Amino acid sequence: MSVESITPYNSGERKREQITQAFDVIAHRYDRLNRILSFGIDSGWRRRALRLLVQDQPPPERILDVATGTADFAILAARRLPRAHITGIDLSAGMLATGRAKIERAKLCDRIDLVHGDCLELPFADGSFDAVTVAFGVRNFENIAAGLAEMRRVLAPGGRVVILELSQPERMPMRALFRLYLRGVMPLLGRLFSGHVQEYRYLPASIEQVPQGQVMLGLLRAAGFDACRSACYTFGVCSCYTGASLS
């Protein structure tokens, strides 16, 4: 089974429509649930990923944040990179509404734009951005290879892509413990704090199926990225993938 075939509701609808519906439903509680489900560690993962954007190169000034959700990564980038302008894109209007409210509170409306759109058909010209980021959104793509190809298309020569994604630890006993958390604890917490069951059954299933390690690096190379590398955080619970556009 491919990750693209895993959907929140398992109806006859396309994954695109189901993902949109699922995140619209939980948008108002998404940030709080993220902190609870990750024990707050996800904020540190984002900071580490952001540092990779400026490692051994000038800070990017035009950043596209794909599957931006409630704009957590976009806001962090705007605060840490004062010369950068960030564009976030997401399928879920509900998530974007929450993100816009956060951006307004942070007084960053002049630095961050949020766009309603599909990562498989990015509404931007070739080479429009110095960096492209995705934080915990690749597993929700309807077609991962096509999404990566679109990200490569809009990346300017010399630009960098940084992808954060949840993953399964490879070593025992952490692998067994994380699987227990995914299949037992996470759906229970999701139901208790959100009142929604199916969305938090989809989440662990998607994590178990999303490509990781060498498989994800192979997809990045196939999409046209160079110098592809990966790193594991927190015993392999999170993976970070980087690549470059050398031409």
- Give me the domains of the chain, ranges plus CATH numbers: 3-244 (3.40.50.150)
> Which of these, 241, 82, 244, lies nearest to 160 by C-alpha position?
244
Answer yes or no: are the C-beta atoms of 3 and 139 closer than 8 Å: yes
Distance, first Cα to last Cα, the chain: 34
Answer yes or no: are the C-beta atoms of 131 and 62 closer than 8 Å: yes
**94/85 Cα distance (integer angstroms):** 23
Per-residue pLDDT of the chain (247 residues; tens, 9 = 90+): 566 777 776 667 788 888 888 788 877 777 777 787 777 899 999 999 999 988 888 899 999 999 999 999 999 999 999 999 999 999 999 999 999 999 999 999 999 999 999 999 999 999 999 999 999 999 999 999 999 999 999 999 999 999 999 999 988 998 899 888 888 887 777 677 666 667 667 877 888 889 999 999 999 999 999 999 999 999 999 999 999 998 7
Residue recorded with tokens 């990200």: 151
> Which of these, 38, 40, 42, 25, lies nearest to 194 by C-alpha position?
25
pTM for this model (two decimals): 0.93
Answer yes or no: are the C-beta atoms of 247 and 157 closer than 8 Å: yes
Q: What local confidence, expressed as pLDDT, does residue 17 receive?
A: 87
**135/194 Cα distance (integer angstroms):** 21
